[in-house]
Chain A
């Protein structure tokens, strides 16, 4: 019993330490050593079946403790990254990708509703925040809560295509949609044209601005720590809600619709309700990620939300595992920080994403953390 607990927490602490060391390592040899240690540990778990099985068993038996441990470490991350504040910002971005990725995965992975307009729906959330705060004078926190509904609302335009087309045709419709969105925001006056919307006010709650550097028992945290914690709550809630929806009648009905629409209909599943619900719920969370992005960086502009961004969101899902909720978290946590860590790779970032996706699809189509069988717990 307590051996399980020790195993779970020690594993988590070890991974955390290695990841933080990898991020902060300045000399190549130090980076190489931590990277090597991570790979070696991964290989050990993968290729020593008894160790792998023991750990998997421990994590399965101690799920609550594992989650609590993970939460504590996630909270401690800005503290550990104090010497390099930029990394707290990168971690915040990764959490934004978790949020949008979960939304997109609910559409594509769970329901099979192909949506290549993820960038447009994130953009709708972001632009809504920009317009509400800058032109409407709303407080940022209210705009972030309302912004996602813009994505849901505008998404209703696609309701008919979603019900009437499928597969490649639906892909084309959604690509056309993201193009239209981009041309419009690029050329309309009220969206600020190519400049976008600048000077979006920062989040503040009861007079406390999120750009203040928080201090914890005399220790100052990096400047982005407040945003990081807010993003952590957002990504955590999104993941929690979508996991519960996935492991429910709705998730089951959507999976059945995805795999065999005719069988689903003959079992009493309404195609209309299922697809539109999945699409709208997904758009809400994609829009939420976009809305939060707007207040983190303080501006929105057309290139932030172009077709290429849709493809990056998609990569998160494929690398993690289509229809896999923990997979999306893993995918975002790999895809966002890795190119930042290896700056010489930064130029090749998209090229590498593309290569990795093709290789994954050919050799590991279920992703790094494949979707599990539902247990309804």
Chain B
């Protein structure tokens, strides 16, 4: 049994990962809420957010904007806008048109769209096959708290991630658009009769979810100091897993699911032999078992097929 400090350290690391997973998972759950589909290219949208962020940073540096305090907010804003727009485009091209077809169709279409985004970055980004170093813009150094090393960088990532979640929560609960999203998620026909513009609401949802994925992408770059075109595959699968664990359609469930998945990964890494290699085997095996025995997730409602 590893010492308690190690477990605490791993739990803290897990929370860090979990925040990023949660941001991706919220997108999955929002899309499922309004259209009842799983947008499988969302993971690659997350990757695109990271690459857009990197490009913006490079551009800012070339323009002489060096300070992190100015560069970071600009980077987040630009990447959210661009990635959000790509998300809306993806929805218009191959999610919405197929939303009424069988789930197999949307599944295949969005999987393929993810492939297109991934390959496009690989081919068209300069030397896209290599991992790209991501600049360290957050304060370095850290403190030790009860045997757990806490880096300032990580605190900043946590803060940004939490801020993004609170912002989304406010948008969903306090704004007109948020009310429309909730209405469509609950009862699309009724929402339309009440005068909710379905197309605009769906667009807004995809913008919001994809923007969150962009935030997650940049945070991931800051955390690992590196991004890679392939990161969206695992990122997407983990995000979907987190959303499913939490219960598809439930935003808080997605956040809890993301944190759980992160902690599960890091504690598995600490507890099993050669854990860093096999941690994902454990994590995915748990997801499989979870889906079989609790398919509605922690906070989801069970949907019963009408006979």
User: Can you report 10 A-B residue pairs in the complex whose CB atoms are below 8 A from each other?
Assistant: A160-B292, A161-B291, A350-B118, A354-B112, A358-B112, A358-B113, A361-B94, A361-B105, A361-B112, A365-B101
Shortest Cβ gap from A354 to chain B (Å): 4
Q: Which residue of the partner chain A has the closest CB to B110? A: A358
Q: Is A112 interfacial (CB 8 A cutoff)?
A: yes
Q: Is B163 interfacial (CB 8 A cutoff)?
A: no
Q: A177-B288, A354-B115, A361-B109 are in contact. Are A168 and B103 (CB under 8 A)?
A: yes
Q: What residues of chain A have their CB less than 8 Å away from a CB belonging to chain B?
A: 108, 112, 114, 116, 160-161, 164-165, 167-169, 171-173, 175-177, 179-180, 183-184, 186-187, 262, 307-308, 311, 314-315, 318, 322, 347-348, 350-351, 353-355, 357-358, 361-362, 365
Q: Which residue of the partner chain B has the closest CB to A357? A: B112
Q: Is B278 interfacial (CB 8 A cutoff)?
A: yes
In-complex Cβ contact of A180 among B93, B103, B284 (8 A): B284
Per-position contact with A for B275-307: 1 when CB-CB < 8 Å, else 0?
001101100110110011101000000000101
Complex CA–CA separation, A92 to B96 (angstroms): 39
Q: Which A residues lie within 8 Å of B284 (CB)? A: 176-177, 179-180
A171 x B38 contact (CB < 8 A): yes
Within 227-282 of B, Cβ neighbours of A (below 8 Å) are at 233-234, 237, 240-241, 244, 274, 277-278, 280-281
**Residues of chain B at interface, number, CB under 8 A:** 45
- Given contact pairs A307-B233, A354-B113, enumerate 10 new A-B contacts (beta carbons under 8 Å): A164-B292, A164-B293, A167-B104, A169-B244, A183-B278, A314-B111, A350-B115, A351-B119, A358-B94, A358-B116
Complex CA–CA separation, A112 to B305 (angstroms): 17
Q: Is B123 interfacial (CB 8 A cutoff)?
A: yes
In-complex Cβ contact of B104 among A108, A177, A307 (8 A): A108
The secondary-structure label for the interface of chain B is helix
B93, B108, B118, B237 interface centre (most CB from chain A within 10 Å): B108
In-complex Cβ contact of B291 among A172, A314, A348 (8 A): A172
Complex CA–CA separation, A350 to B98 (angstroms): 22
Q: A180-B281, A365-B105 are in contact. Are A172 and B115 (CB under 8 A)?
A: no
Q: A167-B103, A183-B277, A183-B280 are in contact. Are A311 and B111 (CB under 8 A)?
A: yes
In-complex Cβ contact of A348 among B109, B123, B285, B293 (8 A): B123
B93 x A358 contact (CB < 8 A): yes
Q: Which B residues lie within 8 Å of A175 (CB)? A: 237
Shortest Cβ gap from A290 to chain B (Å): 21
A353 x B295 contact (CB < 8 A): no
Shortest Cβ gap from B215 to chain A (Å): 23
Shortest Cβ gap from B106 to chain A (Å): 9
B38, B112, B114, B274 interface centre (most CB from chain A within 10 Å): B112
Q: Is B185 interfacial (CB 8 A cutoff)?
A: no
Q: Is B120 interfacial (CB 8 A cutoff)?
A: yes
Q: Which B residues lie within 8 Å of A355 (CB)? A: 112, 116
Task: State the 7 A-B residue pairs at the shortest beta-carbon distance, nearest first.
Answer: A354-B116, A354-B115, A351-B119, A176-B284, A357-B112, A168-B38, A354-B112
A172 x B237 contact (CB < 8 A): yes
Complex CA–CA separation, A89 to B249 (angstroms): 49
Q: What residues of chain B have their CB less than 8 Å away from a CB belonging to chain A?
A: 37-38, 40, 93-94, 97-98, 101, 103-105, 107-109, 111-116, 118-120, 123, 233-234, 237, 240-241, 244, 274, 277-278, 280-281, 284-285, 287-288, 291-293, 295, 305, 307
Q: A167-B103, A176-B288 are in contact. Are A357 and B109 (CB under 8 A)?
A: yes
Q: Which residue of the partner chain B has the closest CB to A363? A: B97
Q: Which A residues lie within 8 Å of B112 (CB)? A: 311, 315, 353-355, 357-358, 361
Q: Which residue of the partner chain B has the closest CB to A315? A: B112
Q: A357-B112, A358-B113 are in contact. Are A176 and B105 (CB under 8 A)?
A: no
Q: Which A residues lie within 8 Å of B293 (CB)? A: 164
Q: A172-B244, A176-B288, A358-B93 are in contact. Are A114 and B104 (CB under 8 A)?
A: yes
Shortest Cβ gap from B263 to chain A (Å): 18
B295 x A169 contact (CB < 8 A): yes
Q: Which A residues lie within 8 Å of B104 (CB)? A: 108, 112, 114, 167, 322
Shortest Cβ gap from A357 to chain B (Å): 4
Complex CA–CA separation, A361 to B105 (angstroms): 7
Complex CA–CA separation, A262 to B103 (angstroms): 17
Q: Which residue of the partner chain B has the closest CB to A351? A: B119
Q: Which residue of the partner chain A has the closest CB to B32? A: A168
Complex CA–CA separation, A114 to B102 (angstroms): 12
In-complex Cβ contact of A187 among B107, B241, B277 (8 A): B277
A351 x B116 contact (CB < 8 A): yes
Shortest Cβ gap from B21 to chain A (Å): 14
Complex CA–CA separation, A116 to B305 (angstroms): 25
B93 x A172 contact (CB < 8 A): no
Complex CA–CA separation, A186 to B240 (angstroms): 24
Shortest Cβ gap from A254 to chain B (Å): 14
Shortest Cβ gap from B29 to chain A (Å): 12
Q: Which B residues lie within 8 Å of A315 (CB)? A: 112
Q: Which A residues lie within 8 Å of B241 (CB)? A: 172, 176
Q: Which residue of the partner chain A has the closest CB to B236? A: A175
A108, A179, A186, A308 interface centre (most CB from chain B within 10 Å): A179
Q: A179-B234, A184-B281, A318-B108 are in contact. Are A350 and B292 (CB under 8 A)?
A: no
In-complex Cβ contact of A357 among B108, B237, B274, B291 (8 A): B108
B278 x A187 contact (CB < 8 A): yes
Q: Which residue of the partner chain A has the closest CB to B105? A: A361
Q: Which residue of the partner chain B has the closest CB to A108? A: B104
B108 x A362 contact (CB < 8 A): no
Complex CA–CA separation, A351 to B233 (angstroms): 15
A361 x B307 contact (CB < 8 A): no
Q: Which B residues lie within 8 Å of A308 (CB)? A: 115
Q: Which B residues lie within 8 Å of A322 (CB)? A: 104
Q: A187-B277, A358-B113 are in contact. Are A168 and B107 (CB under 8 A)?
A: yes
Q: A112-B104, A179-B284, A354-B119 are in contact. Are A173 and B291 (CB under 8 A)?
A: yes
